[in-house]
Chains A and B, each alone.
Chain A
Amino acid sequence: MPLMAGLMARFADQRPFGQLAIAACLHVTAETAMLVRLLRAGGASVGLAASNPLSTQDDIAAALAVRHGIAVFARAGVDRRGYYRHIEMALSEPPGGPDLVIDDGGDLVNTLHTQAAALLPRVKGGCESTTTGVIRLRRMAAEGALAFPVIAANDTAAKRLVDNTCGTGQSVIDGILRATNTLLAGKTVVVAGFGACGRGVAERARGLGAQVIVTEIDPVRALDASLRGFLVLPMAQAARVGEVFVTATGTCDVISAAHIAVMRDGAVLANAGHFDTEIDVRALAGLAAAVRHDVRPHVDAYELGDGRTMLLLAEGRVVNLVAAEGHPPEVMDLAFGIEALALAWLAGNTDKLPAGVHEVPADIDAEAARLVLATMGTSIDALTPAQQAYLESWRIGS
């Protein structure tokens, strides 16, 4: 993770988080460990909880606690109650509560506002790592419920490209292949949602020889998918022909009982979105006469009364993290590098930002991309002064 490794020295020198406490709610993986160590190098004390009950890599959690002195509250396979208990514990470390927060999905910020509001006055701001969380935060802000500024660290041009399109695109395919070992060539793959993630999944499935159908609710994205040569159908029609389904929408009930009712025998259902609400797993269970768990690791076979079987991957949770290893380190290096740079900028500028959701400043995004390019050995051009003047002037034409 060369970007964060490079930032490690910079942060150790500048100590942007001197004496600050940070509460973080993130997938506890090797890449997250690097981010937490970077925050530590920058002077912060960190309390860490998992942002998903299944995604914790227990060896990483143990190493963070033992070798790096991080207050970690995470265990793979924890139940719902334990999951939220862990978030509350991360928020109470140190006892006065955090100065800054990092969230991934919005559960920590939500818990902070609803279960630990007494800690809110101390919180100066935070970062949110994922689209789902940003959507929740914007709703909170719209209702006036968000008490501090949050930077939508997910939403930068560089991150959308590398993390969502490339990282999610690759690792979702990886998760499906590891879970099912199915040949995608010749299969009909239905991708719900043609945002940055869905596009990445759709393009990669096509690259493996699948026929890809896209479902969308946004006409601009649907047009984009069409012009890229994908068949765009409503889910009600796609459900009848698909063999592998991937949801990447950020919303709930994308695959519902009515869709399951018309699906082909042996359909594979996978979710690439953050929450397990995109596939209506409860409805699936309701339709099933029997469920055979773990027919392969992370594959549950739902036997419907009519003789069809649906294969649900990762219990409908985010398949790339559960059935594979999440994003490759290069992707998380950029994502977390941006997040660390943004949080460092926020630490020095909290008084300038009102409560609400804010974009990552464009120069931070550019700085992160520039550092990554340097690690890849890629050189790029710079505008000449004459070009700069041309771009800034409205007087000069041809």
Chain B
Amino acid sequence: MSADQLPYHVADISLAAFGRKEIQLAEHEMPGLMAIRAEYAPSQPLRGAKITGSLHMTVQTAVLIETLVALGARVRWASCNIFSTQDQAAAAVAVGPDGTPDDPRGIPVFAWKGESLEDYWQCTEQALTWPDGDGPNMVLDDGGDATLLVHKGAEYEQAGGVPSPAADDPEEWRIILDRLRNSLADHPGKWTRIAGNVRGVTEETTTGVHRLYEMSRAGTLAFPAINVNDSVTKSKFDNKYGCRHSLIDGIKRGTDVLIGGKVAVVCGYGDVGKGCAESLRGQGARVVVTEIDPICALQAAMDGYQVATLEDVVATADIFVTATGNRDVITAGHMSRMKHQAIVGNIGHFDNEIDMAGLARWPGVRRLTIKPQVDEWTFPAEEGRAGHGIIVLSEGRLLNLGNATGHPSFVMSNSFTNQVIAQVELFTRTGEYPVGVHTLPKHLDEKVARLHLDALGVRLTQLTKEQADYIGVPVDGPYKPEHYRY
């Protein structure tokens, strides 16, 4: 049997029992997904759907996968990041709620923590390769890697071959091209067939949505896409409430420092920065915000935060958090001027907000790993200043994921309920979504929120017919215009 035909590939299938317990705990914190199961399982709207998912293989994702299965879908899964798999969750999903490690009855999952890049793209291809030789008819993507592989495969098949990488192409691109080259040789026409069968993709995150809009503009998008990221109940919840929760969790697990009384600098006051600033202040820190956008800067000032430049506070603050979405926000030069034992971390998506490469190149700097994801970098003594060390969390990568466990289940329940509803929409009403990038209609966004109210004991007020007419909305919503900012 070749590697492509294994029923699953996980780190340790014996972790399934532990993973199942965590899944059961998560189910209670994911009321939206559980309500969707109760509502739709009887009608099996995803019967006939063959879904390939590429999304962090965590405990919360396991609840998503099993919801898709409960609605009638067949599912194959890979993670969308080489480090993000929780091995116990992958094992539990492979075994399934009714199987055992010796008799697994779950879904084919190809994911483990610490994949190589070669492993990663092999896992992605395995998730896209169904035993019947066909591909999926639905894709659920996070970052767009599954969508990219299908599109590039089909493109090169039509072009008659895979190009050679250019000398300055990233290493990962060479690995992708190698994989497609082998695939085209072994299974000619495979990717064109898959691209033709896929009814649509639902995309989880900003980066993937950005790729989809680019393909749509270029006319190369092969099937319709739903942008789940821009549902209010996804982006606001992930960015603001998720980061508000997990930022201080990561800082505390990493350092156990008392936050009360510290000066914390939050770079960027978008949704993520707002959540970060609020949680740091709530712990008693004095928060200073840096911004480049005058609107966000004014918002921070009106919320009572000092707004300064990083240069103003770099030598006096205790904690630095980047949340900008931009590169080189904290440079090695900044870090060289920080207080001894200043804490530096990033909660933005990519690892380029803190210049880690520049830090490593600093003359005489030494790195001491305190524990995983916590490093002390010591600068050499210089004229007028003894050597000082700074604490860098998660090597400058997302510290809420690296030092803690990322978004909690309740936040992910909002994201993933959007995903399931988007899958049902695209699969059952394919004709209403032409090729292009769509967002979920507002009444479905409102539905996702509604499904989470009961669990919090929220009692919603109902508009009267007169009140609804007065503001010109239906009694049952949608209540806000598309441009409303919440």
Contact = CB atoms under 8 A, between A and B. Distances in A.
Interface of A: 185-186, 206, 208-212, 223, 226-231
B127 interface: no
B305 to A, nearest CB: 7
B281 interface: yes
A59 to B, nearest CB: 39
B284 A227 contact: yes
A155 B284 CA distance: 27
A70 B320 CA distance: 64
A358 B303 CA distance: 44
B302 interface: yes
A226 B261 contact: yes
A262 B171 CA distance: 59
Interface of B: 260-261, 281, 284-287, 298, 301-306
A206 B304 contact: yes
Given A210-B304, A226-B260, 17 more contacts: A185-B301, A185-B304, A186-B298, A206-B304, A209-B302, A209-B303, A209-B304, A211-B304, A211-B306, A212-B304, A226-B286, A227-B260, A228-B260, A229-B260, A229-B281, A229-B285, A229-B286
13 contacts: A186-B298, A206-B304, A208-B304, A209-B302, A209-B303, A209-B304, A210-B304, A211-B301, A223-B261, A228-B284, A229-B260, A229-B287, A231-B306
A243 to B, nearest CB: 12
A229 B303 contact: no
Contact of B302 (A186, A226, A228): A186
Give the 8 A-B CB pairs with smallest separation, nearest first.
A227-B260, A186-B301, A226-B261, A185-B302, A227-B261, A209-B304, A229-B284, A229-B286
Contacts of B261: 223, 226-227, 229
Contacts of B285: 229
Contacts of B302: 185-186, 209
A209 B287 CA distance: 13
Contacts of B286: 226, 229-231
A209 B305 CA distance: 8
Contacts of B306: 211, 231
Contacts of B301: 185-186, 211
Contacts of A223: 261
Nearest to B282: A229
Contacts of B305: 211
Contacts of B303: 185, 209
Contacts of A185: 301-304
A223 B260 CA distance: 10
Contacts of B304: 185-186, 206, 208-212
A112 to B, nearest CB: 46
Contacts of B284: 227-229
Contacts of A208: 304
Most buried by A among B286, B298, B301, B303: B286
Contacts of B298: 186
A286 B426 CA distance: 77
Contacts of B260: 226-229
A208 B302 CA distance: 8
Nearest to B301: A186
A353 B304 CA distance: 49
B282 to A, nearest CB: 9
Contacts of A226: 260-261, 286
Nearest to A205: B304
Most buried by A among B260, B287, B304: B304
Contacts of A210: 304
A112 B332 CA distance: 70
A212 B298 CA distance: 17
Contacts of B281: 229
A182 to B, nearest CB: 13
A211 B304 CA distance: 5
A206 B303 CA distance: 8
B279 to A, nearest CB: 12
A212 B304 CA distance: 8
A226 B258 CA distance: 12
Contacts of A228: 260, 284
A206 B278 CA distance: 13
Nearest to A212: B304
B365 to A, nearest CB: 31
A298 B181 CA distance: 82
A187 to B, nearest CB: 9
A380 to B, nearest CB: 23
B383 to A, nearest CB: 28
B441 to A, nearest CB: 35
A310 B407 CA distance: 50
B112 to A, nearest CB: 42
A230 B260 CA distance: 10
A223 B284 CA distance: 11
Nearest to B258: A227
A210 to B, nearest CB: 6
A210 B302 CA distance: 7
A186 B298 CA distance: 8
A212 B287 CA distance: 12
A211 B306 CA distance: 7
Contacts of A231: 286, 306
Nearest to A209: B304
A200 B438 CA distance: 50
Contacts of A186: 298, 301-302, 304
B260 to A, nearest CB: 4
Contacts of A230: 286
A209 B285 CA distance: 16
A126 B281 CA distance: 44
A209 B298 CA distance: 11
B71 to A, nearest CB: 46
Most buried by B among A208, A211, A212, A230: A211
A188 to B, nearest CB: 8
Contacts of B287: 229
A225 to B, nearest CB: 9
Nearest to A210: B304
B398 to A, nearest CB: 25
A125 B244 CA distance: 56
Contacts of A229: 260-261, 281, 284-287
Nearest to B280: A229
A227 B284 CA distance: 5
B418 to A, nearest CB: 33
A210 B300 CA distance: 10
A231 B284 CA distance: 11
Nearest to A223: B261
Nearest to B285: A229
A228 B261 CA distance: 6
Nearest to A206: B304
Nearest to B287: A229
A231 B263 CA distance: 9
A210 B301 CA distance: 8
B485 to A, nearest CB: 19
Most buried by A among B261, B281, B284, B298: B261
A229 B301 CA distance: 16
A264 to B, nearest CB: 16
Contacts of A209: 302-304
A223 B262 CA distance: 11
B247 to A, nearest CB: 16
Most buried by B among A186, A206, A209, A210: A186
A206 B286 CA distance: 11
Nearest to A184: B304
B472 to A, nearest CB: 32
A227 B286 CA distance: 9
A233 B193 CA distance: 70
A109 B301 CA distance: 47
A206 B287 CA distance: 12
